[in-house]
Amino acid sequence: GNSVTQMEGPVTLSEEAFLTINCTYTATGYPSLFWYVQYPGEGLQLLLKATKADDKGSNKGFEATYRKETTSFHLEKGSVQVSDSAVYFCALSGALTGANSKLTFGKGITLSVRP
């Protein structure tokens, strides 16, 4: 079955530091890949997505590239801000079942950014 593996957390960075959050996946076919973010006390929000190999999703300074050869979708940001403190989830949607609202999530990683 489908699975998503995220690096262990939590992660604490200083403001303006470079961020990388690793995500690898296992899936049959050609899934779509997503990063969702959950700010304190809020529901999940879609941060970015990529629907095919070599696509790069980007939003709010965050980027992730769909690498089929390494089955990865690592999240990066060149300079984090305190407001980026949140929980980040990598996810994929299955490409074969037709019921694509079933997302498989990674465990999530908590990012804390210090001023």
Partner 1 sequence: KAGVTQTPRYLIKTRGQQVTLSCSPISGHRSVSWYQQTPGQGLQFLFEYFSETQRNKGNFPGRFSGRQFSNSRSEMNVSTLELGDSALYLCASSLDHSGRLTGELFFGEGSRLTVL
Cβ distance to partner 1 smaller for residue 19 or 50? 50
Closest CA to 38 of 114, 91, 95, 94: 91
User: Strand 109-114 vs strand 11-14: parallel, antiparallel, or unpaired?
Assistant: parallel
Site for partner 1 in 67-96 (CB under 8 A): 89, 91-93
Does residue 108 belong to the site contacting partner 1 (CB under 8 A)? yes
* The token pair that represents 98 in the structure block: 């037709």
Q: Which of 9, 11, 103, 112 binds partner 1 (CB under 8 A)?
A: 103
Window 26-55: residues binding partner 1 (CB under 8 A): 32, 34, 36, 41-46, 49, 51
What is the C-alpha end-to-end distance of the chain, expressed in Å?
A: 41
Nearest-angstrom CA–CA distance, 75 and 20: 6
Q: Please, which residue, 40 or 115, has the CB nearer to partner 1? A: 40
Helices (runs of H) and strands (runs of E) counted in the chain: 0, 12
Smaller CB separation from partner 1, 19 or 31: 31
Site for partner 1, rule CB under 8 A = 32, 34, 36, 41-46, 49, 51, 89, 91-93, 97-108
